[in-house]
Amino acid sequence: MKTLLLPILLAGFASAARTETPQEKYAPLGRLIMVKLESAPFPHPSRAEGHKYQTRQYDAATHYTDNTVGIFVPKGFRRADKVDFVVHFHGWRNHVENVLSHYELPQQFAEAGRNAILVVPQGPYDAPDSSGGKLEDENGFKKFMVEVVAVLRKEGVIGSESIGEIVLCGHSGGYKVISAIVTRGGLEEKVKEVWLFDALYANTEQFMGWFKRFPERRMIVIYTLHGGTKEETEKLIMSLKDAKPALPFLSKKEAEMTEADLKNNQLIFIYTDLEHDKVPYEHHAFREYLKTSGLKPM
């Protein structure tokens, strides 16, 4: 009897110690698909030799070969004639699995109740780099989204391959690839909203060019004191105050921002006292921007 008991106990310990997969972790909220895509940002010729930052070289094999894309489909998602997407770009020194977990993206996405699909492509893997690889190429984003749609069709998630509205959001270094997408990604007219989570470091002309070119867009820029974006953001705000003709905008502290403010304004600047890394999740900003977006509810 004792001989039989030991293997049973060991099996129980092994089962308890087994690491929960991301797919299992988010199953109560929806379906997570982790897939490798040819059109994902990397590998890309611009990082064939890796990337040097300060005194360290980040080699290509470790940091620029992962073409993982996380696709989250919330419970209750309904098929429609067109499929709406939220595409999130992470910042420096990160990777998809950690981005989903640390910033609570699936939880916030599910709580927002929008009938859309979340897409999180792997950028530079755990590297201090803002490069968007293939998604900075001409029509690179269009190729990427076509492949994403093909995967979802194959998985039986969607019945239509027509792309509807797209929201682009990025934290920190994620700004650079978004600025390229709204300039030359091939789906500029589909991009209805851009959210920059402490991410307006540069390329302001590209963002404003997109915003002015297409009517009825929404752009949210949230910034911090020490995240490195305050100077560029406030420079833009000052230029808008002096602009002729005037371009309406709203600028408020995060603590004073209301749901109506988010719903009823198109160009929104938010100053937050949060630390840089906490901006997307500490006050559930990702969820609140989703809830007040133009995306259809479930």
Looking at residue 6, its pLDDT comes to 52
Measured at the alpha carbon of residue 182, what is the angle toward residues 161 and 113, in degrees to the nearest 5?
55
| Alpha-carbon separation of residue 118 from 45, 145, 188, 256, 284 (angstroms) | 27, 12, 18, 28, 16
Nearest-angstrom CA–CA distance, 96 and 270? 26
pLDDT tens readout for residues 114-137: 999 999 999 999 999 999 999 999
31 has a pLDDT exceeding 70: yes
pLDDT tens readout for residues 233-271: 999 999 999 998 889 999 999 999 999 999 999 999 999
The answer to whether the CB of 71 falls within 8 A of the CB of 151 is: yes
pTM of the predicted structure, to 2 decimals: 0.94
pLDDT tens readout for residues 203-213: 999 999 999 99
Q: Which CATH number fits domain 21-291: 3.40.50.1820, 3.40.50.2300, 3.30.1360.20, 3.40.50.2030?
A: 3.40.50.1820
Nearest-angstrom CA–CA distance, 118 and 87? 6
Nearest-angstrom CA–CA distance, 207 and 170? 13
Mean pLDDT computed over 270-276:
98
Residues 52, 53, 57, 62, CA torsion sign: negative
- Using pLDDT thresholds of 50, 70 and 90, give the confidence band for residue 18: confident
84 has a pLDDT exceeding 80: yes
Say whether the peptide bond before residue 297 is cis (omega within 30 degrees of 0).
Answer: no
Q: For the residues of 167-220, what is the DSSP string, one character each?
A: EEEEEGGGHHHHHHHHHHSS-GGGEEEEEEES--SS-HHHHHHHHHHSSS-EEE
Looking at residue 1, its pLDDT comes to 47
First to last CA, the chain: 55
